[in-house]
Structure 1
Amino acid sequence: MNHGAGRVTIAGLAEQLGLSKASVSYALNGLPGVSDETRERVLALAEQLGWHPSSSARALSRARSDTIGIVLRRDPSLLGAEPYYMSLLAGVESELAETGQSLLLRMVGTDSGQEVAAYRRWSAEARVDGVMLFDITFDDPRPRLLEELGLAFVLHGNREAVAPGKVLLYDARADAGLLVEHLASLGHRRALHIAGPAEFEHEQDRRDAVAARGEELGLAFSFAASDYSMESGERIAAELLTADTSITAVLTSNDLLALGAQTALTHAGREDVAIVSWDDSLLCRLGTRPITALDRSPEEQGRRSTRLLLDQLAGRPAFDRRARPSRLVPRATSIRAGEHAAR
């Protein structure tokens, strides 16, 4: 066996140690299924041969799976209620179909430990060539983990520094500008922003951008975090609009929150409150009062992030690392301050 670091393979390590390839993979990736003694033997030989987790996982397994992976921390029973992700996944699938590759999707609830375990398992078993990340948190451990595992990845976000060259970039400031400028043009001076979970970087970026543009235009915002659900939107809108009757507009971070806020306003008999959503979908277009929303082209986002990942795997420079600019779609909830919705 050649002891050069560039020639190390799972099969070679397994043959020299008298172990199965699966046992070597589990030991190298810190997975259960091997004894402590076996793990120490594998790691000792790997170190002797110059193996390093951050650079050698692909060298250990030359075979390509022609599969990319996505792990969503979502309740599987609720995913169908999130049009954004359904459209984005459709874009991923359509791009992969053109290249003859596959998507491996896992939904693991809200347990981050299960997500990490899925990446470790996929790496050990060579199940995927790369993965996509969503909902980046502050000090998110996943990019570093994937680098250590040698798995290619791209992520959706607003901050290039999180993983230089691997981010499909959104323009939170431009999106916030479209929404806030629209409300200001309708004469609103007090608004409620129902945001998503505070631990997500993109929600902080949105909140900062909304507040800054609002201040420039004389539109003051109150903020409330949520879990993106319709129930959360309904509860927050009911509570805060009752507590502050000077609020005449609601901006929400997704379509489900907007639908919940609209339900609360309908129950309260409030027809004088404008609603705008950061995400557009069929939900915003239905009903007696269709909701004004940003068309962010989630299917195209899925296609672009897939191309970015495939370019990375092929060693090609990325053709385009920016999401398509959003466009505002005004609908019935674009109500002027002091006016009532048209019946």
Structure 2
Amino acid sequence: MARRSVPHRPTIADVAALAGVSKGAVSRAFNGGERISAATIQRIHDAATQLGWVPSAAARAINGAPTQAVGIVVRRPPELLDIDPFFPAFLAGVETVLARHEYATIIRFVEGAKQERACYERMMAERQVDGFLLNDLRRPDFRFRLLSGMGAPAVVVGTPGPSCPYPSVDSDSTPRVRQLIEHLIAMGHRRIAHVTGVPELLHSRARETLWRQTLADHGIEPGPVAVGNFVAAGGAQATRQLLAEPRRPSAIFYGNDVMAVGGMAVLAEHGLRVPEDVAVAGFDDIELASYLTPALSTVHCDYPGLGRAAAEMLLTAIGGTAPSWRVTLPTQVRLRRSTANTG
């Protein structure tokens, strides 16, 4: 087939002319190939390759074909990707799966619930994506009813309530958080404080609840709680708040490692040694955790693995097959110097 010179950006009409078929045939060739012979499909694809033409996602959506995209709507500031260890690792796992299937990830950041609802409605109305990964669960979470009502495939990342209509994937961190708190108790700590993340998020509340329950199970009154919003500056400010208490805590469990890093800096500013004066524990096991001085005790979570599992489940659902309903990935406690018993 001779290469045809096209002075403008190639269109579907150019592909049709070069292949000697109708525009409808080109559209069908890229959307399932119904009622077209294999030889004709190959000729159309060869023409498209020669012209450098690819079907747009919008055109595919109009024809009812998959858009080859997955949506993630995040109700937090865009700066989150720089400061929260979860999202970069999770997205890396998602991308490794989607790339193999020639899918893209569309991420939208919104400020509040109203903007979030509108974003989901617009993405579905315009058929920008084939399904969604739902992070940052809240209770109640309007997204379950909204998306199921629109027939949108989705996978929940986290532990939803029993009324959730979607499959979910999560880290099995409950026993490991309990193990970490019990380690602090075994080290002799009886005033153990907690720095929580974003209070309205279910995983923040779950870690605080586990902290309270574990201490109560051992007959220990929970120490004070301060909010750090999952960022280092928040962890630092929360630590200052805890140190201003009439009785200083002897140990602090932070809802993530980033807050723990900010807290350890404040402890050093106040001349307090870790773990001799205040033991410190975190959650996530970021790469920096083992390089801190002292190294940070924490709960290790496989966030890339979580992303891979979530993406695989969603693509299965998009393909019309019911995925596993509930998948949990194992976690580990990493005990390091920050909680060591120094006698």
TM-score w.r.t. the length of structure 1 is 0.75
CA deviation vs aligned residue, 1:17-45 (integer Å, no higher than 9, x gap): xxxxxxxxxxxxxxxxxxxxxxxxxxxxx
Q: Which amino acid aligns with 1:145?
A: L
Secondary structure in structure 2 of the residue aligned to 1:270: coil
The answer to whether structure 1 residue 253 and structure 2 residue 218 are counterparts is no
Deviation string, structure 1 residues 121-149 (Cα, Å, up to 9, x no partner): 11111110001111111111111111122
Residue 69 of structure 1: SS of its match in structure 2? strand
Report if aligned partners of 1:158, 1:171 keep a CA contact under 8 Å in 2: no
Counterparts of 2:142 and 2:281, CA distance in 1: 33
Structure-2 residue corresponding to 1:42: none
* 1:167 paired residue number: 168
Shift of 1:246: 4.3
Q: Is the 8 A contact 1:258 1:276 kept in 2?
A: yes
> Which one of 307, 311, 320 corresponds to residue 315 of structure 1?
320
What is the count of residue pairs matched by the alignment? 279
Going from structure 1 to structure 2, the CA distance change for 1:162 and 1:279 (only over 3 Å counts) comes to farther
Q: Secondary structure at the match of 2:181?
A: helix
Contact 2:242 2:248 in 1 (8 A): no
With over 3 angstroms needed to count, the CA separation of the structure-2 counterparts of 1:98 and 1:244, relative to structure 1, is farther
* In 1: Cα distance, 2:231 partner to 2:258 partner: 6
| CA distance in 2: counterparts of 1:154 and 1:241, whole angstroms | 41
In the alignment, what sits opposite 2:237? 235
Which residues of structure 2 form unaligned runs of 5+? 1-60
**In structure 2, what is the Cα distance between the partners aligned to 1:294 and 1:140?**
27
Give per-residue Cα distances to partners, 1:307-338, cap 9 Å, x unaligned. Answer: 121121223232473231110112221233x7
Q: Distance in 2 between matches of 1:250 and 1:64?
A: 49
From 106, 109, 112, the equivalent of 1:107 is 109
Q: CA deviation at 1:170?
A: 4.0
Q: Which residue of 2 aligns with 1:93?
A: 95
Q: Which moved more, 1:120-129 or 1:78-87?
A: 78-87
Write the distance in 2 (CA, Å) between the matches of 1:226 and 1:140. Answer: 23
Note if 1:121 corresponds to 2:122: yes
Correspondence list, 1:123-202, <5 A: 123-202=124-203
Shift of residue 60 of structure 1?
A: 9.5
Whether the 8 Å CA contact 2:299–2:332 is kept in 1: the answer is yes
Which deviations, in whole Å up to 9, do the C-alpha atoms of 1:254-301 show, x marking residues without a partner? Answer: 121111111111111111211111211123233322211111111101
Asked if the contact 2:252–2:281 (Cα under 8 Å) also holds between the matched residues in 1, the reply is yes
Matches of 2:132 and 2:90, distance apart in 1: 14
> By how many angstroms is 1:160 displaced?
4.2
> Secondary structure of 1:243's match?
coil
For 1:32, the equivalent position in structure 2 comes to none
Aligned-pair Cα RMSD in Å: 2.2
Conserved? CA contact 2:77–2:109, under 8 Å:
yes
CA distance in 2, matches of 1:162, 1:202: 17
SS in 1 for 2:169: strand
2:217 corresponds to: 216
SS at match of 2:244: helix
Residues 62 and 216 (structure 1), Cα distance of their counterparts in 2 relative to 1, 3 Å cut: same
Residue matched to 1:278:
283
TM-score when normalising by structure 2 = 0.75
Partners of 1:219 and 1:318 lie apart in 2 by 42
**Residues 192 and 246 of structure 1: CA distance in aligned 2, closer, same or farther (over 3 Å):** same
Task: Give 1:162 shift.
Answer: 4.3
| Residue equivalent to 1:287 | 292
Contact kept, 8 Å, 2:169 with 2:326, in 1: the verdict is: yes
Letter in 1 for 2:79: S
Deviations 1:92-132 (A, max 9, x none): 00111222211111223x32322222211111111100011
Distance 1:137 1:160 in 2: 10
Match of 1:305 in 2: 310
Runs of 4+ in 1 over 6 A off after TM superposition: none
Q: Match of 1:168, as an amino acid?
A: V
Deviation at 1:172, TM superposition (A): 4.9
Q: Which has the larger radius of gyration?
A: 2
State the one-letter code of the partner of 2:91.
L
- CA pair 162-198 structure 1, distance change in 2 beyond 3 A: farther
Deviates more, 1:204-213 or 1:171-180: 171-180
- One-letter amino acid of the structure 1 residue matched with residue 104 of structure 2: S
Kindly tell me: are residues 296 and 179 of structure 1, through their superposed partners in 2, closer, same or farther at Cα, counting changes over 3 Å? same
8 Å contact kept, 1:172–1:209? no
